[in-house]
Structure 1
Amino acid sequence: MFSAHLDAADDVLITAGSHPKTVHDFYHFPDELYQISYPAPGEPVLAKQIADTFINAGIKVNIDATHGWDHGVWIPLRLMYPQANIPIVQISINTRVGTTENYRYGQLITS
């Protein structure tokens, strides 16, 4: 899943942890929101496959086994999959390279 809340300036960041934590990367919201956990599993093997695809396309990649799910991931997925039983790989965007390049990132993982 691409998240606009994971905006990497240089390399593409791909999460590769088995059990990433829920990140509450927002401020001044009701306390109840900070208590929410979305314990969906990661998928390290898929993360590596995606990273290899990007690398083969000449894109620098940073695989991060410690990065958690930001709210751009866990809020919509919590509504779609409340059991948190689907594996997730989160991929950064890069607003500095523009929409065409970010679109290309998406094309790489769908081909």
Structure 2
Amino acid sequence: MTKMPTFYISHGGGPWPWVPQLRAIFKNLEASFVQMEEDLPERPKAVVMISGHWEADQVRVMSSDAPTMEYDYSGFPPETYQIRYGAPGDPALAERIIGLLAGAGISATPDPKQGYDHGTFVPMQIMYPDADVPLIQVSMLSSYDPAKHFEIGRALAPLRDEGVLIIGSGLSYHNMSKMNPAAKVPSAGFDAWLGETLAKAPEARTADLLNWESAPHARECHVKEDHWVPIYVAVGAAEQATATLVYHETDLLGGITASSYRFD
């Protein structure tokens, strides 16, 4: 089986594929998700998503064979609270993940109740609209500790050789108070640092990512790092891999620079 890449993606705002005005705004992001799927070496056996919308004190692994939905947004049209993304779960893969994490000294527990959040079902709706690829989520740690999330990624790396696609889903810029032209300078500065960092040799790249708060405008771009932390799992699972830019936009919502990367 071909080794799968990993991704760190910017997933956009709320349930945008179901809101025509927003779908138009995120048309370039949508095109990037379509291209991501087309460029995979083969159809994945399953997708493991680490979303910026699920965190816990201990790693939790979605274990239901038919996960429900989490409508973790507000102020959207009523129909967006009826969305169903019906991809099957994968309890056997959940057990495999828990075992891999345990082997790396990381405590994890199954979660049969967690549903798909929009950081997961939005990109999957574009990539696999028939919801026919098994899909599970692995939580972030609420500590947001970069080193620990690197360790999670390293532990999950063997899944790449088993046909499993690992995606860290967040946003390379995520300051909810400045989702407007005020984001122009900070998001561009941080994005430039991210591109330069990911182009470095693996050891230097890892060191700089761990020291991310020294990046230009780091805390202005990520006041809370929930949408940033998924990158560590994606890079940790492909630590020796080359980073390739797969989405880049410089005027999103009037000023935001945002990017997504593939690692293989």
**TM-score (structure 1 length as normaliser):** 0.91
The structure that is helix-richer by fraction is 2
Q: Which amino acid aligns with 1:2?
A: I
2:139 maps to 92
Q: Distance in 1 between matches of 2:156 and 2:69?
A: 24
SS at 1:59's partner residue?
coil
Q: Which amino acid aligns with 1:6?
A: W
Q: Which amino acid aligns with 1:52?
A: G
Q: Distance in 1 between matches of 2:82 and 2:156?
A: 33
46, 68, 83: which one aligns with 1:36: 83
24, 40, 55: which one aligns with 2:102: 55
The structure that is strand-richer by fraction is 2
Q: Distance in 2 between matches of 1:59 and 1:110?
A: 14
**TM-score (structure 2 length as normaliser):** 0.40
Identity %: 35
Displacement of 1:34:
1.0
Ranked by relative contact order (alpha carbons within 8 Å, sequence separation 6 or more), the top structure is 1
Question: Any unmatched runs of 5+ in structure 2?
Answer: 1-48, 159-264
Q: Distance in 1 between matches of 2:68 and 2:144?
A: 28
The yes-or-no answer on 1:74 pairing with 2:112 is no
SS at 1:54's partner residue?
helix
Displacement of 1:100:
2.1
Question: Any unmatched runs of 5+ in structure 1?
Answer: none
SS at 1:63's partner residue?
strand
1:33-60 per-position Cα deviation (integer Å, ceiling 9, x unaligned): 1121101000000000000111121111
Greater radius of gyration (CA): 2
1:7 maps to 55
Q: Distance in 2 between matches of 1:30 and 1:106?
A: 36
SS at 1:5's partner residue?
coil
Over 6 Å off, 4+ runs:
none
2:261 maps to none
Q: Which amino acid aligns with 2:134?
A: P
Q: Distance in 2 between matches of 1:89 and 1:35?
A: 20
SS at 1:101's partner residue?
helix
